[in-house]
A and B are shown apart, each in its own frame.
Chain A
């Protein structure tokens, strides 16, 4: 019997995610060369200068990729916002209440059905988006304010604080996102297929992770693929 899959992410979404992920990783690595004194002293300065300049070039990719993607697919962007800014159901609250016990005991704690984006996912992804925006704004002010403009010292210091603070926030949420999204956490195995494969989720996994959404999609059938 043919197995059924649901197309969850489009090629454009996966490419945008890939660009953001790649730039995010590079920005974290290159940022460490300025943030941590040990790294700042590696080599004779040339390596660190390269990292610092690459931080700016890659920063442009991080900012531009989602904006261009949103302009290319305005309908998709609107839908994306709708999935995140929506009223919480009782199941959403239950999911959050059970989240920590579930993470430390997935064999005994069972999660309730969820819509297309889980409540925890909405919080975590929301923090990634807010963090990304704060990093982008503070980064651009730091960049331009210390190169082509001579921004007031107070503004630069506040922006440095914002950049450092959200780096800290992002490290937590990026690592947690990767732990779940890449399927290191055992109940989430195969989820990496969603962004790094063909964007499809198997029927059984969809029913487990996003019960409400999976049943709705299977009933509609528009995004269901059999093979």
Chain B
């Protein structure tokens, strides 16, 4: 969180240090409308939630001659995003503000490290009296598809010919959950009949509230007034809603985006 605050402060300071260009007497600064098309990857980093009752597996290095193991079951989350934004860019201030619509799809998968022919882990789904029940699970997955509205502030402190460097800070709020689903693949087909019972042993499904705060460094290519292309590196950013994922605890997310900006109209 300190890193995020520092980067935001840096971005805002850059903005504060910019001076408006001198404009002819009586003339208003121009505003350029840009439409952004973006696509990218969003990778949340986190760890398996403690209340997901999974027994650790043998380490994949295990064998009779190297009989040490501290266990290994992994969770991996990835996301893809597509979006469109409308930006009002003020060249005199080298900055712009935008809002739009974005689709993000997250997939979380839990799987056990394989050993020999073993490609499953043990999920505890019932503890009744003295009886404890495990299921051999090949993978446990959670999918989230969300439509959100991002609002971004962009500052372009450096420009050289058709190349520029910019910083960005944004917030995003989910407006529609298109999918919030968990699925399980058992090692034994006979356990499919008990899917509902096993899933009931998991933590409650994730909430539907989705909001993030993020910052990015952008490398842009293109002349003013022409289509521009950007590569954005999403810096470690935060989910503002804590229980969006039911299988993992997220620490932060990072990612990369490609975008194309088309100028619409210059107004004075």
Judge: A and B partners, yes or no. Answer: no
> Which residue numbers of A lie inside 8 Å of B, CB to CB?
none
